[in-house]
Amino acid sequence: MLTRKQHQLLLYIDDHLRRTGYSPSFDEMKDALELRSKSGIHRLISALEERGFLRRHHHRARALEVLRLPHMGTEAPIAATTAPETSFVPAVLSQGQVDLEGTFSEASVANDRQTISIPLYGRIAAGLPIEAMQDDSDRIEVPVSLLGTGEHYALTVAGDSMIEAGILDGDIAIIRRRETAENGQIIVALIDEQEVTLKKLRRRGSMIALEAANREYETRIFPSERVHIQGRLIALFRQY
């Protein structure tokens, strides 16, 4: 079943398309749903895509297509998550200078399947959380063998709170998009639908601890409903 917000957004997009012929902007969707930031809209759209209600036409501005409404049939099955993986060991690749803005997207294959173009998706703090969600897209080429299956995106790291895990300021983090993770994995965490940070996940009953990998930083603990997992770190690019 769709959540109330997912259902509300789907109907709003469908109505806007019927009235205007084009999809609403992220600001319009944010205001219509009375959300505090566009990151919540990104998350809702991704969930609707996964369930087969929406399609995003990448490389086109304001291009959402409603595939079906809730009364048009049963929901599409959600793809199974991959098996739990062990603790992260950074795979660091050299990378030239890039402009770090972008959006979620399915990877597109280039260069005879030697590399895959994935979207760059703003900045993420490895110290104090900062907003990482942007609308404008840019992309980075990543070796096919590095990614495996699933949807991926890239973020650049800001700060030094993960240096003991080998993650440095300015690194480009390669993220596999998923909404679940195991204890000890390094994740992209969305806090209160406003702040985005890269931290190690620890579950403590009904609470979630986001642990830094730097003794100078304190562990932040939240009720589980305040933290949404946006993806898991699988590799790093580093500029020298």
- What is the set of active-site residues? 161, 199
131: left (phi over 0), alpha (psi -120 to 50) or beta: beta
CA angle 40, 43, 46 (to 5 degrees): 150
CB 103 within 8 A of CB 57: no
CB 126 within 8 A of CB 162: yes
Q: Residue 112: CB partners within 8 Å, gap ≥ 6?
A: none
Q: Is 67 exposed, middle or buried (0-12, 13-18, 19+ CB in 10 A)?
A: middle
For residue 124, the cross-strand partners are 157
